[in-house]
Structure formats: C-alpha cells, structure tokens
Homo-oligomer: A and B are copies of this chain.
Amino acid sequence: MAAGLAVVLMSGGMDSAVCAAIAREEGYDIAALHLNYGQRTERKELEAFHALADFYQAVQRLVVSVEHLAKIGGSSLVDEQMEIPEPQLNTDRIPNTYVPFRNAHILAIATSWAEVLGANAIFYGAVQEDSSGYPDCRQEFIEAYQRVIDVGTKPETSIILKAPLLHRSKAEIVQLGASLGVPFHLTWSCYQSEDRACGVCESCALRLRGFQLAGIEDPIPYIRKPWYAGSVTKQS
C-alpha cells in the first residue's frame, strides 16, 4: 500500500494542505517542508504548517529559512516599504508581489531534501489559474523542472515532481479538499495580516472567491470580506 516517501511543500496555505491530503490518499508518507522567505505573515504560516504536519502525521519535517530571497529583492512580499497591491483578478499583469523565479528556489530545496531522504516524489501546490501571471507556476515550468531534476540528481535517484492542483480552479480545490477532509480551519493564506485574514489582499481574494464558488463557508476569521464573498464578519 505504501507508495513511498513524498516531500510535500507546505506553506501553510489551503493549496498545500490539499496537496498533503492527496499525497496521503495516494499512500505516501509525508516529509513536510516549509520555507520561510521573510514574508510578512511567516509567524502565522509556520503555525499553520506545524498544525498541518501534525494532522497528516508527517514522518519528517524541515523548516528552511531562505531569507536570501529578500536580499535579492524586487518584491513587495519581502519589503515592508512597498505597498501590497489591491487584487486585480483576471489580468495578465505580473504583480509586485512577485519574487523573481521564486519557485525555482523552492523546488531546488525540495529536490535536495528529497535526494537526501531517498524520497521518490515531490508534491507542489502550484495553481496556474491563480498564479497572477507568475511564469514559474505553469505546466511548462513544471515539465522543465522535472527535466532538471532528472539530469541534475544522482543516477540512482528517481523523483517525480507532482503538481496535482495545477489545472484546477480554486473552487475545485476547495471541493476536493472538503471531500478529502482537509482541515481548512488550520490553514492560512493572507499575505497581509496574521490574527484575522485581511480579506482584501490577492491571496485572500482568490481564497474567498474559491470558497464562494464551491458553496462552502471558509472557516478562518476575516477582518473584512469583499462583496463577492458573502456575509461580512464583524470588524475588529
């Protein structure tokens, strides 16, 4: 029954939680990997990561600081001086929350750790639809990276890079997660605040729209919700 060991990239967000659920459903043991790249909401995301790793009985867990991404700069996610933009859904614009080439760093760490552990899969929760035009969230990027893994690791190493959510809508991910019993109340997606989700940053907007279209109530607390997300919670 055991499919082997899978490194699951777990930001603490809902997508990676659904990825963990899929990995378990496929029979993998989970090696839970979390990256701290200096984002504003890291404390809350790390808390979510540990809660999810506990929930999915991770057999290994690793938290890696990649704050050198902040040093390289170029992103409002890692620069408190820059303003987080209001969301602009359904545009091809690349927002200034973009850390250039970020996912290549994430996958390099996942691959190195997978090779050290002898894991045979990496689960990666990239979602093309809500990638805001990030070029490193696309099918062709996943395929190109699989090739780099194949030629860049030891001959006896065989690691498959799985991105099971890539072509799903946020609403489909919510529905799939609900069917797999994902504890959405343990997840965190907001880029902006840590006690209650802001409800207006791009990540909140995508999440809330996904839950709304799925017809499921998002269990985490929000400061405010946009008009399309239904009932507004009490202002803090």
Q: What is the CA–CA distance of A151 and B100 in the complex, to the nearest angstrom?
A: 12
A105-119 toward B: CB 8 Å interface, digit per residue (1/0)?
101110111011000
Question: How far does the alpha carbon of A135 sit from the alpha carbon of B150 in the complex, in Å?
Answer: 9
Asked whether, in the complex, the Cβ of B152 is within 8 Å of the Cβ of A101, the reply is yes
Prevailing SS type, chain A contact patch = helix
Number of A residues with CB within 8 Å of any CB on chain B: 42
Copies of this protein chain in the complex: 2
Partner of A155, one of B72, B111, B135, B141: B135
Cβ–Cβ contact B148 & A152, under 8 A = no
Query: What are 30 A-B interface contacts by the 8 Å CB criterion?
Result: A64-B68, A64-B71, A64-B72, A65-B68, A66-B68, A69-B112, A72-B116, A73-B116, A74-B112, A74-B115, A74-B116, A94-B154, A100-B112, A100-B116, A101-B153, A102-B112, A104-B107, A104-B112, A104-B148, A105-B112, A135-B151, A135-B152, A138-B151, A141-B152, A144-B150, A144-B152, A145-B148, A145-B152, A147-B147, A147-B148
Contact across chains for A99 and B112 when beta carbons are under 8 A apart: yes
Q: Which residues of A contact B (CB under 8 A)?
A: 62, 64-66, 68-69, 71-74, 94, 99-105, 107-109, 111-113, 115-116, 135-136, 138, 140-141, 144-145, 147-155
Question: Does the CB pair A108–B111 fall under 8 Å?
Answer: no
Chain B residues positioned under 8 Å from A144 (CB to CB): 144, 147-148, 150-152
* CB <8 Å contact, B112 and A152: no
Residues of B within 8 A of A66 (CB): 68
With A148-B148, A151-B141 known as contacts, the answer to whether A72 contacts B112 (CB < 8 A) is yes
CA distance A115 to B112 in the complex (A): 24
CB distance from A96 to the nearest CB of B (A): 12
Task: A153 to B104: give the CA distance in the assembly, Å.
Answer: 10
Q: Which residues of B contact A72 (CB under 8 A)?
A: 62, 64, 109, 112-113, 116
* Least distance between A143 CB and chain B CB atoms (Å): 8
CA distance A147 to B104 in the complex (A): 12
A117: min CB distance to chain B, Å: 9
Nearest chain B CB to A97's CB is how many angstroms away? 14
Q: How far is the CA of A112 from the CA of B136 in the complex (A)?
A: 12
Provide the residues of chain B in CB contact with A71, threshold 8 Å.
62, 64
